Amino acid sequence: MTVTPEGQPPRHEPHPNHDRGLEFDLSTLMSRRSLGMFLGAGTAAALAACTPGGSSSAPSGSPSSASAGSTASASPTVTRAIAECGVEIPQETAGPYPGDGSNGPNVLEASGVVRQDITSSFGTSATKTDGVPLTVTLTLLDNANGCVPLAGAAVYAWHCDKQGRYSLYDSGLENENFLRGVQEADANGQVTFKTVYPGAYNGRWPHIHFEVFESMNNATAAGQVLAVSQIALTDAACREVYASTGYETSARNFPNTTLRSDNVFGEDGGIYQLATMSGSVAAGYTAGLNVTI
């Protein structure tokens, strides 16, 4: 049985701070956030990317945002086409296993946390976690300035392993810090992490946590956070990955929580946090999300 810190929720049970209010209908949300603007982009891809359980890929070099104010000259193949750049990424709690100093250990002050490949621990351990390869790219957009890229911002990303366990917190992993890392956004406001596909545990839809900081200095000093949110992975990709060897526990847990019943994504079905994904178990997956701040 896993031992959790005193006063913290049981292992992998939904953290009470995840509950951000009563659920409300998707139709109500859409009208409030301007359905006309959502459809104005004129691309079916944007709607497909926002459909819970769907997956799609954008052509290489496609715009990272529908906003005319964006100056990004390139984007990764799977960057999600958000038509309504004015809709900011929903804010979430960092959760019970952040490793950012807000609830226990602080990995952000450790030398080596700034890295693109987060599959291994760093520092005193070189333990490498395995799983289906996953490349995650976030494109940060500045809503207050016409959705221009947030070049120079920093992102801290973390998630569980294929068995649903978090480094720094779960029993036997207290001295590991794999699946955690920081990257600085390039001129296009983009950060990319090389990782493995997260597992599914009861009470949550498969996801990746991230925090956005104004600068690398703020990130590595655990300074002021611009945004805290989560990436929702697609139904199709999860089903394919969890049918593969090594994800047997996730295959059992995955059917128990839907996007609509998830206590983070359930308010709107995750439409603003659902990644655009492509790939296969054999070749690995890519996931992309535009993050408007």
Which structure tokens are listed for 181?
């890392």
The residue ranges of DSSP E strands in 12-120, in sequence order, are none
Q: Which of 52-66, 167-181, 226-240, 252-266 has the lowest mean pLDDT?
A: 52-66
Q: Residues 130-179: pLDDT tens digits?
A: 999 999 999 999 998 888 999 999 999 999 999 999 999 999 999 999 99
The per-residue pLDDT for 18 is 34
Task: Return the percent helix, strand and coil in the chain, to nearest 5.
Answer: 20, 20, 60
Percent share of the chain, pLDDT over 70: 71
Q: What is d(CA 176, CA 158) in angstroms, rounded to the nearest whole number? A: 13
Helices (H), 40-106: 44-49
| DSSP class per residue in 228-254 | EEEEEPPHHHHHHHHTSTT-HHHHHHG
Helices (H) and strands (E) in the chain, counts: 6, 9
The per-residue pLDDT for 84 is 53
According to DSSP, residue 128 is labeled B
The per-residue pLDDT for 180 is 98
**The whole model's pTM is what?**
0.75
| Partners of 208 in the β-ladder | 231
Q: What is d(CA 278, CA 205) in angstroms, rounded to the nearest whole number? A: 18
Which structure tokens are listed for 258?
């839907």
Residue 183, Cα to own-chain centre: how many angstroms? 14
Q: What is d(CA 267, CA 77) in angstroms, rounded to the nearest whole number? A: 28
Q: What is d(CA 140, CA 89) in angstroms, rounded to the nearest whole number? A: 10
The per-residue pLDDT for 6 is 35
CA-only gyration radius of the chain, Å: 18
Q: Residues 13-23: pLDDT tens digits?
A: 433 333 332 23
Q: What is d(CA 83, CA 97) in angstroms, rounded to the nearest whole number? A: 32
Give the three-state DSSP class for 277. strand
